[in-house]
């Protein structure tokens, strides 16, 4: 089986799909806009066609300039002769796939491509509808995103969860202590890009409120990631005078993500936009038997069983988030129970090996039909 993925070759999600399919014996090719900047594909026979075209994101003129890449994509298709063309992201790569006019053709929606893009203008909406109309199969990582996508197509949409490797994301038997924290520290943490949509400022405010309520506890806040809000979030911490309690770690390689999850006592994700379609980091935390607190947006409540594996709070509500944090840190039994139930739920629904097998079965059905 030979699959041509239309997707950002530098995305951790693309890398994960490509390498996992390759490990199952699939001949994988990736066609990407922009240059290859990562070394993750080394040691494999995955072929990367990274376009040198500089395509800006934004207005319709820029979006339509994707047409200039079509001849190169068609040459790759002619050379590689894939069994399936699979676009990850319904608008940019979805447009490339629809204009390539190759079948069978699959589109996987990712989030902002269906939650944000079609709301920009009538033309944006028409582009999305056109792309979905050309697809032979449409996939979504969450039910809530499938429901949103259904507004723009009458085709059925299959849910293909983006799970985690349960052998990598598992409870550590080693101490949580590190150069950053002591064994007794209660660490509230998040691993996210420091961008507006992820609501990190609400987490900082919530943590400050928790410190006021429990000044005697050894509380710390760990923020892992980088982004455009780096400086403003650090300024917020200074204004609240909690610099000694907050650690900004910056960007880390994916291989170190489990190690940092292991330092966290309670994982918190307070995203503010519905385009947060699936909480991969939340699933990772649950897999490591960590209680989680998430905002009620997009697909986040879908990966948390409220009051069993974690707590769902209203978005943009630091007070509610603080109350949830207090409830969990005040009750060690609850913390452990939520963590264990979270792991069981991930094993049932978000086992990456099962997710890959589901994708392979979809591919096989499409090829055989």
Q: What is the C-alpha separation between 3 and 247, in angstroms, rounded? A: 42
Q: Residue 141 — very low, low, confident or very high, per pLDDT cuts 50/70/90? A: very high
Q: Do 105 and 207 reside in the same domain of the chain? A: no
Give domain status of residue 177, yes or no: no
Give domain status of residue 176, yes or no: no
- The DSSP secondary structure of 65-88, one letter per residue, reads GGGGGHHHHHHHHHHH--SEEEEE
Q: What is the C-alpha separation between 26 and 360, in angstroms, rounded? A: 9
What percentage of the chain reaches a pLDDT higher than 70? 95
C-alpha separations of 106 from 26, 292, 346, 357 in Å: 16, 33, 26, 16
Q: Do 139 and 211 reside in the same domain of the chain? A: no
Give domain status of residue 11, yes or no: yes
Give domain status of residue 151, yes or no: yes
Q: Do 195 and 67 reside in the same domain of the chain? A: no
Give domain status of residue 101, yes or no: yes
Are 192 and 281 a contacting pair, CB within 8 Å? yes
Tokens 């202590």, residue located: 177
The mean per-residue pLDDT over the stretch 275-303 comes to 92
Residue 57 scores a pLDDT above 60: no
The CATH number of the domain holding residue 225 is 3.40.50.2000
Q: Do 202 and 122 reside in the same domain of the chain? A: no
Q: What is the C-alpha separation between 142 and 276, in angstroms, rounded? A: 10
Residue 316 scores a pLDDT above 90: yes
Q: Do 318 and 279 reside in the same domain of the chain? A: yes
pTM of the model as a whole? 0.86
Q: Do 339 and 196 reside in the same domain of the chain? A: yes
Q: Do 339 and 361 reside in the same domain of the chain? A: no
Q: What is the C-alpha separation between 184 and 175, in angstroms, rounded? A: 10
Q: Tell me: the pLDDT tens digits for 212-246?
A: 999 999 999 999 999 999 999 999 999 999 999 99
Q: Do 195 and 244 reside in the same domain of the chain? A: yes
Q: Residue 179 — very low, low, confident or very high, per pLDDT cuts 50/70/90? A: confident
Segments forming the whole domain that contains residue 319: 186-349
Q: Residue 4 — very low, low, confident or very high, per pLDDT cuts 50/70/90? A: very high
Q: Do 197 and 324 reside in the same domain of the chain? A: yes
Q: Is 313 helix (H, G, I), strand (E, B) or coil?
A: strand
Give domain status of residue 180, yes or no: no
Q: What mean pLDDT value characterizes the chain?
A: 93
Q: Do 157 and 201 reside in the same domain of the chain? A: no
Total domain count for the chain? 2
Give domain status of residue 169, yes or no: no
| Residues facing residue 246 across a β-bridge | 221
185 — phi, psi (to 5°)? -65, 140
Give domain status of residue 168, yes or no: no
Give me the helix-helix angle, 12-23 and 352-368, nearest 10°: 70
Q: Do 294 and 359 reside in the same domain of the chain? A: no
∠37-35-90 over CA atoms, to 5°? Answer: 105
Instruction: List Cβ neighbours of 248 (8 Å cut-off, separation of 6 or more).
Output: 223, 230, 233, 234
Residue 47 scores a pLDDT above 60: yes
Q: Do 149 and 91 reside in the same domain of the chain? A: yes
């Amino acid at each position: 089986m030979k699959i041509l993925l239309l997707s950002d070759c530098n995305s951790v999600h693309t890398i994960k799909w490509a390498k996992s399919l390759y490990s199952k014996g699939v001949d994988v090719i990736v066609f990407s806009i922009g240059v290859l900047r990562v070394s993750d594909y080394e040691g494999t026979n995955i072929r990367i066609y990274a376009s040198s075209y500089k395509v800006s994101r934004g207005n319709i003129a820029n979006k339509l300039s994707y047409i200039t890449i079509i001849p190169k994509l068609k040459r790759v298709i002619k050379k590689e002769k894939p069994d399936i063309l699979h676009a990850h992201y319904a608008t940019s790569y979805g447009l490339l796939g629809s204009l390539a006019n190759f079948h069978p053709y699959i589109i996987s929606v990712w989030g902002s491509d269906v939650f944000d893009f079609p709301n920009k203008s009538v033309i944006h909406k028409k582009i999305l509808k056109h792309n979905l109309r050309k697809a032979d199969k449409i996939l979504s990582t969450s039910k809530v995103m499938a429901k949103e996508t259904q507004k723009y197509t009458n085709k059925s949409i299959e849910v293909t969860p983006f799970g985690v490797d349960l052998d990598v994301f598992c409870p550590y038997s080693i101490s949580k202590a590190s150069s950053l924290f002591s064994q007794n520290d209660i660490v509230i943490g998040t691993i996210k890009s420091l961008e507006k949509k992820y609501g990190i400022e609400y987490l900082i405010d919530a943590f400050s409120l928790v410190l006021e309520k429990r000044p005697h506890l050894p509380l710390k806040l760990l923020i892992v990631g980088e982004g455009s809000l780096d400086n403003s979030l650090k300024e917020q911490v200074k204004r609240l005078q909690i610099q000694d309690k907050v650690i900004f770690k910056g960007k880390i390689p994916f291989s170190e993500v489990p190690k940092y999850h292991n330092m966290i006592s309670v994982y918190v994700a307070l995203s503010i936009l519905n385009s947060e379609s699936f909480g991969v980091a939340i699933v990772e935390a649950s897999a490591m038997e960590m209680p989680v607190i998430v905002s009620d947006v997009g697909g986040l409540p879908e990966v948390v069983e409220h009051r069993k594996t974690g707590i769902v709070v209203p978005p943009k509500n630091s007070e509610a988030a603080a109350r949830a944090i207090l409830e969990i840190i005040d009750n060690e039994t609850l913390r452990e129970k939520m963590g264990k139930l979270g792991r069981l739920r991930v094993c049932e629904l978000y086992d990456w090996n099962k997710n890959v097998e589901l994708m392979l079965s979809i591919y096989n059905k499409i090829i055989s039909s």
